[in-house]
Amino acid sequence: MGKIIVTGASGHLGTAAIRHLLDLGVQPGDIVGVVRDKAKGAALAELGVELRLGDYDDAASLPSAFEGGEKLLFVSASSMDNTLRIRQHAAVVEAARNAGIKHIAYTGIAFGEKMTTGLENVHLATEYMIRTTGAAYTFLRNGFYLELLVNEGTAGVVEGGTVISAAPSGKMNYVTRDNLARAAAVVLTREGHENKAYELTASHPFSYDEYAAVLAEVSGKPVVHKALPAPEAVSAMVAAGVPEGGAGFLIHVVDAAIERGEFGLPSDDLANLIGDAYTPLKTAVEQALNG
């Protein structure tokens, strides 16, 4: 078997996907992590994973990064400039084709065809580009990370007793990044995932009301959800320490889309791919609050 190449290997998702590949029995020597800075991949190198330099902004760096690869986990670029990202992604897809990669798994966005946030355009464009290569593909249409909500700040939200949003009743199909990494590793190591698109979301999307109820249940403390008009919600988040740009994005883009139902579609694709490893909301909250 040729090598499995993983881009974005220095990032959260790429690193976790490599750890899951190892967990699923792939030999470290059969994995290549593509990074912009080898120092950022030091922990992977210690596990025996080969690191190669590759930069989506430097097409000339990609042929040697992808050489000898049979499968590619292509982690989407992290730039906020979606026009630039399409150019970056084009460089990756072209290099993968030219390197003779047989199977490209790409991390896109869940239910992008039904989304109107603007985030979907780069992912749909990239999926269509991948289809032109003739390689087998698996579109890992990732749901939003549950870590956006459930993170090191969650204990503070519980102490404050209030979850603030601008989405009174819309639902979220968020899932953990680690679950998404596991799904990527599964499709690269098991048969039957060629030329498939998976909507990797929660099986049971939840509203902010339901999220607050889970926080209350797990912590044993009163927590309520308060939906505010968007400008007030941004101000409340900024007062709570969220940077203004991030708060504006979460309220005006994400919560607005939640309320339009664009993050509320359920799918069992993730649970079906990863089985018992699937982490429901309550478990993620327990892990965040109780360690």
Ligand X SMILES: NC(=O)c1ccc[n+]([C@@H]2O[C@H](COP(=O)([O-])OP(=O)(O)OC[C@H]3O[C@@H](n4cnc5c(N)ncnc54)[C@H](OP(=O)(O)O)[C@@H]3O)[C@@H](O)[C@H]2O)c1
Q: Cβ 236 to ligand X, closest distance in Å?
A: 22
Q: Cβ 186 to ligand X, closest distance in Å?
A: 17
CA angle 153, 156, 158 (to 5 degrees): 115
> Cβ closer to ligand X: 12 or 102?
12
> Cβ closer to ligand X: 89 or 219?
89
H or E element that contains 93: helix 82-98
> Cβ closer to ligand X: 48 or 246?
246
Half-sphere exposure for 232 (CA within 13 Å, toward CB): 8
Q: Cβ 201 to ligand X, closest distance in Å?
A: 10
Interface ranges with ligand X (CB under 6 A): 8, 10-14, 36-37, 40, 55-57, 75-78, 88, 107, 142, 144-145, 177
Number of other CB atoms surrounding residue 106 within 10 Å: 27
CA separation, residue 94 to residues 27, 100, 104, 135 (Å) = 27, 10, 12, 11
279, 175 Cβ separation under 8 angstroms: yes
Q: Cβ 63 to ligand X, closest distance in Å?
A: 14
> Cβ closer to ligand X: 78 or 132?
78
Residue number with the smallest Cβ distance to ligand X: 11
> Cβ closer to ligand X: 121 or 235?
121
Q: Cβ 222 to ligand X, closest distance in Å?
A: 29
* Residue type (1 letter), 268: D
Measuring CA to CA, which residue among 25, 9, 29, 26 is closest to residue 17?
Answer: 9
Strand partners, 72: 5, 104
DSSP letters along 105-158, please?
A: EEEEETTGGG--SSHHHHHHHHHHHHHTT-SEEEEEEEPPBGGGTSSTTHHHHH
Q: Cβ 10 to ligand X, closest distance in Å?
A: 4
> Cβ closer to ligand X: 59 or 216?
59
Q: Cβ 223 to ligand X, closest distance in Å?
A: 23
CA dist., res. 32 & res. 69, Å (int):
8
> Cβ closer to ligand X: 13 or 219?
13
Q: What's the per-residue H, E or C state across 197-236? A: EEEECCCCCEEHHHHHHHHHHHHCCCCEEEECCHHHHHHH
